[in-house]
A and B are shown apart, each in its own frame.
Chain A
């Protein structure tokens, strides 16, 4: 499996499903495109700190619960 280009991981997909929000709706609320939401979910794009906080606030969760950081593996 190809490793995503960013080490930032996230639970956005799970949180989105818990809150019954589609990618398009999330994008609309955040002011980004649906493709950007997909790219973040798939680890193809690390959101800016501001966008990360917006996402966490939207799900009413601490930043640490939404985002993680993958350490280097040997």
Chain B
């Protein structure tokens, strides 16, 4: 498997793993109390931070072994996968905006945005992996 495809495969698992860890820790901390009244900010920051560290470390390790610079195909795959992820970010931002306009507690707005990042990361990584494994469709 190509280095960039390997990185995409790892990233496909990192974002959901960080989010599931966050949810598990949040539920444990709530201990039966409503989630929206449970402290969540540190958990969000730690799990997002941890996910970023794992993603950067994976990328560095994989690319240290395979020093091939990005070519036209890599850049096209990158661009298309990022565009797909960005579409999810836009949708998530609209949901967060609607929640804010409806005076929803910040817990739900923050969690909607966190879930948005996770879904965007998953879609982007899955698209990247698919383009490398199956091929890049014509426009």
Chain A residues close to B by CB (< 8 Å) = 4-8, 31-33, 35-36, 39, 42-48, 51
Contacts and interface: CB of A to CB of B under 8 A. Distances in A.
Contacts of B34: none
Given A32-B73, A48-B72, A51-B72, A6 B135 contact: yes
Q: Which 10 A-B pairs have the closest CB atoms?
A: A44-B135, A5-B135, A32-B71, A5-B137, A36-B73, A6-B138, A45-B136, A35-B2, A33-B68, A45-B73
Contact of B71 (A4, A8, A31, A43): A31
A2 B88 CA distance: 29
A31 B134 CA distance: 22
Contacts of A4: 135
Interface string B125-139: 000000000111110
B135 A39 contact: yes
Where chain A touches its partner, the secondary structure class is loop
Contacts of B74: 33, 36
Contacts of A48: 72
B29 to A, nearest CB: 45
Contacts of B72: 32, 36, 47-48, 51
Contacts of A7: 138
Interface in B35-84: 68, 71-74, 76
Given A5-B137, A39-B136, A48-B72, 4 more contacts: A5-B136, A32-B72, A32-B73, A46-B136
B69 to A, nearest CB: 9
Given A33-B2, A35-B2, A45 B71 contact: no
Interface string B102-139: 00000000000000000000000000000000111110
A26 to B, nearest CB: 12
15 contacts: A5-B134, A5-B135, A5-B136, A6-B136, A32-B71, A36-B71, A36-B73, A36-B74, A39-B73, A39-B135, A39-B136, A44-B134, A45-B73, A45-B76, A51-B72
